[in-house]
Amino acid sequence: MQIKREIATMKLIKHPNVVRLYEVMGSKTKIFLVLEYVTGGELFDKIVNHGRMREDEARRYFQQLINAVDYCHSRGVYHRDLKPENLLLDAFGNLKVSDFGLSALSQQVRDDGLLHTTCGTPNYVAPEVLNDRGYDGATADLWSCGVILFVLLAGYLPFEDSNLMTLYKKISAAEFTCPSWLTFGAMRLLARILDPNPMTRITIPEILEDEWFKKGYKPPVFGEKYDANLDDVDAAFKDSEEHHVTEKKEDQPAAMNAFELISMSKGLNLGNLFDIEQEFKRETRFTSKCPANEIISKIEEAAKPLGFNVQRKNYKMRLQNMKAGRKGNLNVATEVFQVAPSLHMVEVRKAKGDTLEFHKFYKTLSSSLKDVVWKSEEDMQDNAAK
Active site residues: 81
Residue 110, phi then psi, degrees to nearest 5: -80, 180
Q: 345 to each of 74, 255, 290, how far by Cα in Å?
A: 57, 10, 10
Buried b (16+ CB within 10 A) or exposed e, 28-42: eeeeeeeeeebebeb
d(Cα 230, Cα 8) in Å, to the nearest integer?
7
190-197 contacts, C-beta under 8 A, 24 or more apart = 190/146, 190/149, 190/150, 190/153, 190/158, 193/142, 193/143, 193/145, 193/146, 193/149, 194/143, 194/146, 194/147, 194/150, 194/158, 196/127, 196/171, 196/172
* DSSP 3-state of 303: helix
